[in-house]
Amino acid sequence: MMTARRGFLKRSLMGTGAMALMGAPRLLASPEKPPMRFIFMHRGNGLWPKVMVPPGIDAKTREKEDRKDPYELDLDSYDLPDWMAPLSAHKENLTILQGLSGMMCTTGHHSWCSSLGAFKANERLGSIRWATVDFELAKLFPSPVNHVELACFPEGGGNAKGTLDGIATGFSASGPQKPNYAFGSPRVAMEELFKSVSQDASAQTKYQIDRQVLEFVARNEGAAAAPLGGVEKAKVRNYADSVEVIRERNRKIDEMAEVIRRHVPTLDPKYLNPGITTIDRQIGHTEVLLGALISGLTNVAAFTVDELGHRYTGFPGLEGMKLNMHDVGHNKVIGGLSAEVIRQRCRTHHMSLIDRMVTRLKSVPEAGGTMFDNTMIFYFPDGGETHHSRGTEYPFVVMAGDNTRVDLRRRYVRLPNYGQAGHRTLGNWYTTLLNAYGNPIQHFGALDNGLLKFGHDQTGAISDFLG
């Protein structure tokens, strides 16, 4: 019986993202103010720093860029790189951030949860040293589901194996040795996140049965633990605690059922098809993500928009092919298209997804403004600056609403290069975000031993970004 309970609990944890609720929140959002919301959208195969630079910079600025010396530009005076065209209508909310390093992370083909945790990681649970930054922010702005993760999984190797369309180990972590679970398809994400308000009779029946099983486990798990001792008793107690967390989450969701019901995504049937293309999978994930945010199910989402091991289908100009992004990383011509053209089309499509997010959130009224006023979106590579990266640079596209507490908007910012005085890392960047929103941590992430020889202090927030 205990084995059956544990099997049920494991399925429940994976299916609902309840592992995100394990940590107690440090700071509750003020009831007078809307919560802040964060979307971490990361991609594989590198993000070249050269493609981030606004066109039309003068010769002197170009020399600084080539040397990677620090400087800033007011984006109001410059066009965006061509691939960022979908963000043109939101230029006032945009920052291009260059110069952060992440050599304390795992780089190269697969980074696992390194780029969100600022530590070296691999497929072993023991490599996960602490919660990733998205989970730390979720603690500051709690919600019923707390954290939603969506992914276009690799088909072989990398972070997760065995499924494109199910639920599998994700790219975030809720704590030491606690990998998160991600939804691989919009269909599964819809079924799990919105099943409490589903109009489908079988889904509602399953939801009610799950609740009854949880109640049974909650009543009986404590009694089962009574005759046990030591490690076994602790294990059973942990299961009982996890059940109670899920039950509390369900209570919160039930209380807001009407709001959730109004914001359940209405997806075209093609987004629910198991044979969905990558392009449609990404669009479907975006719609589910927006539904979860707007309904209040969560305030934090991680979206692995692609991963090096994922084979693209439905790609613009190569719709009939299964595109190997590893070949693109090695600059192969595929279907008559150069690798650079493929990379640019891929990035442009990703920007269209961000435009979809920003446009939708700007259409939702909130506290005298819009929901986007209280939102930050981050687009960045999971492994660094190139296909075979070293981690010396992690370029970021940042979208920020009017009420965000990190002063970045409308700027191109190049921070001091690796080894220069004032150089900053992913750890400094994430420390800045956490400090801005209520976690006074001295430093998030591991230090880079390679920077020690330069004698610069690696810890702390980027003070220029804090208002």
CB 327 within 8 A of CB 291: no
Task: Write phi, then psi, for 318 (nearest 5 degrees).
Answer: -135, 40
Which pLDDT value is given to residue 321? 93
User: Per residue in 342-376, pLDDT tens?
Assistant: 999 999 999 999 999 999 999 999 999 999 999 99
Neighbour count for residue 208 (Cβ, 10 Å): 11
Which pLDDT value is given to residue 220? 57
Question: What's the pLDDT band for 258 if we cut at 50, 70, 90?
Answer: confident
CB 145 within 8 A of CB 300: no
CB burial of 58-97 (b: ≥16 within 10 Å; e: otherwise) equals eeebeeebeebebeebebeebebbebbebbeebeebbbbb
The mean pLDDT value for 205-226 works out to 50
What is the extent of the structural domain holding 88? Answer: 2-465
The mean pLDDT value for 435-464 works out to 96
Separation CA 366–CA 388 (nearest Å): 43
User: Per residue in 159-201, pLDDT tens?
Assistant: 555 578 888 889 999 999 999 999 999 999 998 888 766 555 5
Q: What is the mean pLDDT of the chain?
A: 85
Which of 405-409, 411-415, 425-429, 449-453 has the lowest average pLDDT?
405-409
Q: Fill in the DSSP letter of residue 451.
A: G
Question: What's the pLDDT band for 2 if we cut at 50, 70, 90?
Answer: very low
Map residue 208 onto helix, strand or coil: helix
Question: What's the pLDDT band for 23 if we cut at 50, 70, 90?
Answer: very low
Q: Please count the structural domains in the chain.
A: 1
Separation CA 307–CA 206 (nearest Å): 33
Separation CA 396–CA 377 (nearest Å): 10
Task: Write phi, then psi, for 265 (nearest 5 degrees).
Answer: -60, 140
Which pLDDT value is given to residue 237? 55
- Token digits for 395? 């370029």
In the block, residue with structure tokens 């709690």: 142
Residue 455 class from Cβ within 10 Å (0-12 exposed, 13-18 middle, 19+ buried)?
exposed
